């Protein structure tokens, strides 16, 4: 495995960094590997704007609760801001900014004509009825109406939101505008302009990244064991595809813990978060594990595909997987990244691995603008092509400059962003 020559001092993460702090530290480190104006790097440490809104909701018992929502818009030099909306109790401004920075790099790594955005509401979606979720979402769309739009900022699903959330969001925005505007969000159901394959796409790209990494390091997928933390849109689809392609998925988890079978689970029979949340531990399996233990399992490929900051300075020494593929956004802290690098454990970064979601969102946006619908086969073929191109661009940097996969992906992204800024004349 290649390693980076970065000389940065690394403090252990006694207190876990926010997504924003991690994103800035990763950017500073990657900047040492690429010839980009310091002023551009300084600009990229900050978002263009962060919209904070109050979202009142009348609960079913007649009481009123006011939730806080955000939309962070990081950079749009390459195109409209693009990125998901997350419903989770820990959503806050710094998290949205950090996640929006990762979206800017992700779109650039995939060479999509988008910048980076991310938003959400600090709410536990499991505490809401469907009717409450619909009203909350419609009010959120109303509050964000001046900052979003198909050529301005295009939200999509993320943790805690799904195709139905996007349908309500699109309907509320269209009602405000007086016309149907499918391209204001992506990740919608296909019947109203959504793309086939979008729901599965981040899991599909994560599986493709895992397959390519296994091959790159000289192994065969048929002899590969896999553990997946999180069994939602990303984790479940990645696990099911890797199983289809011959790998042995030995452990999967949801918020309550993991099931483990060293001989392999029948992943297709386990309900996903979307089909039935918190169902993993109800399945028959020889062993159950905690969400900490699944990260330390002796497997070939570990896919953290739930929340951020799960591989930390405290457990990175105990990660025994040969390859980590980041299905979630920001699952590895900056300090843990360095420990894994020193231990020669390659980490295929989120901004490459889970980029299938935004890539198929781009396909959906094209379909909406052109009022056309692509077949599932076409979507999957084009996604495979885009992923292999991006994989190759990043692999070249890994091989030529002996960078980590994360630094290499940043180099690809930053070079494209800096070139766009220089060409547009936005900096200096
Ligand atoms: N959806 C998308 O398009 C994309 C998502 N991502 C990222 O992937 C990650 C997962 O998102 P997504 O799959 O959409 O989310 P989902 O809401 O579909 O699923 C999340 C899964 O993670 C589990 N989970 C929640 N909290 C924890 C925890 N603390 N420890 C272990 N498991 C947990 C949930 O369990 P339970 O079912 O019990 O609630 C569920 O199985 C996020 O980081 C997201 O930002 C990245 C690219 C695109
Ligand atoms: O599909 C999109 O626009 C964004 C998906 C997303 O939020 C992500 O990749 O983290």
Per-residue pLDDT reduced to its tens digit, 17-61: 899 999 999 999 999 999 999 999 999 999 999 999 999 999 999
Res 3 pLDDT > 60: no
Res 1 pLDDT > 60: no
> Ligand 2 atom closest to Cα of 86?
7
- 74-93 pLDDT per residue, tens: 999 999 999 999 999 999 99
The verdict on the CB of residue 75 being under 6 Å from ligand 1 is: no
Residue 73 covered by a domain: yes
The verdict on the CB of residue 119 being under 6 Å from ligand 1 is: no
> Ligand 1 atom closest to Cα of 350?
46
* DSSP-H helix ranges across 93-162: 93-109, 130-143
The verdict on the CB of residue 160 being under 6 Å from ligand 1 is: yes
What is the CA(349)–ligand 2 centre distance, in A? 15
- Of 250, 255, 368, 385, the closest CA to residue 320 belongs to 250
Rounded Cα–Cα distance for residues 234 and 9 (Å): 33
Bond from prior residue into 428 cis (ω within 30 degrees of 0): yes
Residue 106 covered by a domain: yes
User: Percentage of the chain with pLDDT > 90?
Assistant: 94
Quick one: which ligand is closest to 289's CA? 1
- Looking from the CA of 218 toward its CB, the CA atoms found within 13 Å total 1
Residue 189 covered by a domain: no
Q: Which of 176-180, 272-276, 326-330, 380-384 has the lowest mean pLDDT?
A: 272-276
Q: Do 178 and 214 lie in a common domain?
A: no
Q: Do 223 and 283 lie in a common domain?
A: yes
Q: Are 155 and 120 in contact (CB under 8 A)?
A: no
Rounded Cα–Cα distance for residues 343 and 380 (Å): 35
Rounded Cα–Cα distance for residues 57 and 311 (Å): 36
Spacing of C-alpha 152 from chain mean position: 21
**What residues form DSSP beta bridges with 259?**
252, 288
What is the CA(157)–ligand 2 centre distance, in A? 7
**pLDDT computed for residue 417 by the predictor:** 97
Q: Do 176 and 317 lie in a common domain?
A: no
**pLDDT computed for residue 13 by the predictor:** 54
Q: Do 219 and 161 lie in a common domain?
A: no
- Looking from the CA of 153 toward its CB, the CA atoms found within 13 Å total 27
Residue 403 covered by a domain: no
**pLDDT computed for residue 287 by the predictor:** 96
Residues in the chain: 428
Confidence of residue 14 (pLDDT cuts 50, 70, 90): low
For residue 130, give the CATH number of its domain.
3.40.50.10860
**pLDDT computed for residue 170 by the predictor:** 98
Which of the listed residues 353, 379, 411 is the one where a domain comes to its end? 353
Count how many domains the chain has.
2
Confidence of residue 5 (pLDDT cuts 50, 70, 90): very low
Q: Do 147 and 235 lie in a common domain?
A: no
What is the CA(278)–ligand 1 centre distance, in A? 12
**pLDDT computed for residue 16 by the predictor:** 87
Which of the listed residues 184, 215, 237 is the one where a domain comes to its end? 184
Q: Do 85 and 56 lie in a common domain?
A: yes
Res 104 pLDDT > 50: yes
**What residues form DSSP beta bridges with 67?**
55
**What residues form DSSP beta bridges with 382?**
none
Average pLDDT estimate for 251-277: 96
Residue 207 domain boundaries: 201-353
Residue 290 covered by a domain: yes
Residue 195, CA distances (Å) to 32, 208, 273, 423 in order: 39, 19, 20, 33
User: Percentage of the chain with pLDDT > 70?
Assistant: 96
Residue 359 covered by a domain: no
Q: Do 296 and 331 lie in a common domain?
A: yes
Average pLDDT estimate for 243-255: 98
Spacing of C-alpha 278 from chain mean position: 21
Res 359 pLDDT > 70: yes
Which residue has a Cα nearest atom 26 of ligand 1?
255
Res 293 pLDDT > 90: yes
Q: Do 125 and 216 lie in a common domain?
A: no
What is the CA(220)–ligand 1 centre distance, in A? 28
Res 297 pLDDT > 90: yes
**pLDDT computed for residue 426 by the predictor:** 62
CB contact set of 212 (below 8 Å; sequence gap of 6+): 388, 391
Average pLDDT estimate for 182-205: 98
Write out the two tokens for 368: 């909406």
Q: Do 226 and 310 lie in a common domain?
A: yes
Pocket of ligand 2 (CB under 6 A): 82-84, 106, 156, 158, 186-187, 329, 354, 357-358, 361
Rounded Cα–Cα distance for residues 139 and 116 (Å): 23
Confidence of residue 425 (pLDDT cuts 50, 70, 90): confident
Q: Do 156 and 250 lie in a common domain?
A: no
The verdict on the CB of residue 291 being under 6 Å from ligand 1 is: yes
Residue 369 covered by a domain: no
Which of the listed residues 291, 324, 353 is the one where a domain comes to its end? 353
Average pLDDT estimate for 94-103: 98
Which residue has a Cα nearest atom 4 of ligand 1?
158
Mean pLDDT over each residue of the chain, to the nearest integer: 95
Rounded Cα–Cα distance for residues 237 and 121 (Å): 25
Residue 376 covered by a domain: no
Q: Do 215 and 172 lie in a common domain?
A: no
Burial 50-82 (b: 16+ CB within 10 A, else e): bbebebebeeeeeeeeebebbbbbbbbbbbbbb
Residues designated as active site: 118
Rounded Cα–Cα distance for residues 39 and 107 (Å): 21
Q: Do 207 and 172 lie in a common domain?
A: no
Average pLDDT estimate for 231-253: 97
> Ligand 1 atom closest to Cα of 354?
47
What is the CA(317)–ligand 2 centre distance, in A? 30
Q: Which of 1-10, 114-123, 320-329, 386-395 has the lowest mean pLDDT?
A: 1-10
**pLDDT computed for residue 360 by the predictor:** 98
For residue 206, give the CATH number of its domain.
3.40.50.720
Rounded Cα–Cα distance for residues 90 and 178 (Å): 34
The verdict on the CB of residue 304 being under 6 Å from ligand 1 is: no
CB contact set of 403 (below 8 Å; sequence gap of 6+): 2, 4, 33, 397, 411
Rounded Cα–Cα distance for residues 276 and 236 (Å): 12
251 φ, ψ to 5°?
-150, 140
């Amino acid at each position: 495995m290649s390693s980076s020559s970065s000389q940065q001092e690394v403090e252990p993460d006694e207190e876990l960094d926010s997504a924003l702090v991690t994103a800035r530290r990763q950017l500073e480190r990657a900047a040492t590997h690429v010839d980009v104006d310091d002023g551009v790097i300084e600009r990229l440490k900050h978002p263009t704007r962060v919209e904070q809104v109050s979202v009142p909701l009348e609960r079913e018992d007649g009481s009123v609760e006011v939730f806080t929502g955000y939309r962070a818009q990081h950079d749009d030099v390459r195109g409209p801001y693009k990125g998901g909306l997350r419903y989770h109790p820990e959503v806050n401004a710094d998290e949205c900014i950090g996640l929006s920075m990762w979206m800017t790099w992700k779109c650039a790594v995939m060479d999509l004509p988008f910048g980076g955005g991310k938003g959400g509401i600090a709410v536990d979606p499991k505490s809401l009825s469907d009717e409450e979720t619909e009203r909350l979402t419609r009010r959120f769309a109303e509050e964000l109406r001046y900052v979003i739009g198909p050529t301005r900022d295009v939200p999509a699903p993320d943790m805690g939101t799904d195709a139905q959330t996007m349908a309500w969001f699109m309907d509320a925005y269209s009602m405000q505008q007086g016309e149907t505007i499918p391209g204001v969000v992506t990740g919608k159901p296909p019947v109203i302009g959504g793309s086939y394959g979008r729901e599965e796409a981040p899991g599909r790209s994560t599986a493709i990244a895992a397959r390519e990494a296994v091959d790159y390091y000289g192994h065969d997928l048929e002899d590969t064991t896999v553990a997946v933390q999180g069994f939602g849109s990303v984790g479940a689809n990645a696990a099911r595809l890797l199983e289809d392609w011959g790998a042995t998925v030995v452990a999967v988890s949801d918020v309550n813990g993991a099931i483990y079978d060293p001989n392999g689970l029948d992943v297709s029979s386990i309900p996903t978060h979307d089909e039935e949340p918190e169902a993993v531990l109800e399945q028959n399996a020889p062993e159950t594990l905690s969400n900490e233990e699944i990260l330390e399992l002796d497997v070939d490929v570990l896919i953290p595909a739930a929340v951020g900051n799960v591989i930390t300075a405290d457990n990175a020494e105990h990660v025994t997987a040969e390859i980590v593929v980041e299905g979630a956004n920001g699952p590895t802290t900056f300090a843990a990244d360095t420990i894994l690098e020193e231990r020669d454990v390659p980490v295929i970064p989120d901004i490459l691995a889970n980029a299938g979601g935004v890539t198929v969102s781009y396909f959906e946006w094209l379909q909406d603008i052109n009022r056309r619908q692509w077949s599932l086969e076409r979507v999957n073929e084009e996604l495979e092509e885009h992923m292999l191109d991006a994989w190759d661009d990043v692999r070249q940097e890994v091989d030529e400059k002996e960078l980590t996969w994360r630094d290499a992906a940043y180099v690809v992204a930053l070079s494209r962003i800096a070139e766009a800024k220089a060409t547009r004349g936005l900096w200096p």
